């Protein structure tokens, strides 16, 4: 039992190393995290409802997850081949495409969540 608990904590430590690596080395990961903090501050100011918080949370985590997976795919492709080839390029481009689509969806979700609140705030 203790061996299983130790293994579990080791896996959490490895995951935390991944978070640190992404934050230290990936510019877009930092950008997404900064946007997430700003979105959370905006949600606090605009007094988001429970369901708005859920939508915001899912959206934030989706984009950050996609960025981490993109980095993992890029690093794996870099390990598999040092040469530039069309398959490696397609793999990296497809991973980046997933992040781009996720970020675009986040912008749409942000508009749906924030614009009505801002309009309501302006109208008083």
Query: Which residues carry a binding-site annotation for substrate?
Result: 7, 67
Decide if 67 is catalytic. Answer: yes
CB-based contact 74:26 (threshold 8 Å) = no
CA distance 124 to 122: 5
Q: Which residues are annotated as a binding site for ATP?
A: 7, 14, 74, 92-93
The pair of structure tokens assigned to 114 is: 């924030």
The catalytically annotated residue of 52, 67, 75, 83 is: 67
With vertex at residue 97, the alpha carbon angle to CA 89 and CA 111, rounded to the nearest 5 degrees, is 160
| Residue 116: alpha-carbon gap to chain centroid | 24
With vertex at residue 70, the alpha carbon angle to CA 68 and CA 76, rounded to the nearest 5 degrees, is 105
Q: Which residues are annotated as a binding site?
A: 7, 14, 67, 74, 92-93
Q: Which residues are annotated as a binding site for a divalent metal cation?
A: 74
Query: What positions carry a catalytic annotation?
Result: 67
């Amino acid at each position: 039992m203790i061996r299983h608990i130790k293994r579990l904590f080791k896996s959490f430590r490895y995951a935390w190393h991944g978070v640190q690596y992404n934050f230290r080395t990936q510019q877009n990961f930092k950008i997404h995290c900064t946007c997430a903090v700003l979105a959370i501050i905006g949600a606090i100011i605009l007094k988001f409802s429970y369901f708005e918080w859920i939508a915001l949370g899912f959206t934030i985590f989706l984009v950050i997850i996609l960025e981490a997976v993109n980095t993992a795919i890029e690093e794996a492709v870099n390990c598999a081949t040092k040469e530039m080839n069309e398959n490696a390029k397609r793999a990296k481009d497809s991973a980046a495409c997933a992040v781009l689509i996720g970020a675009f969806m986040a912008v749409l979700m942000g508009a749906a969540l924030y614009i009505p609140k801002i309009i309501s705030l302006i109208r008083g």
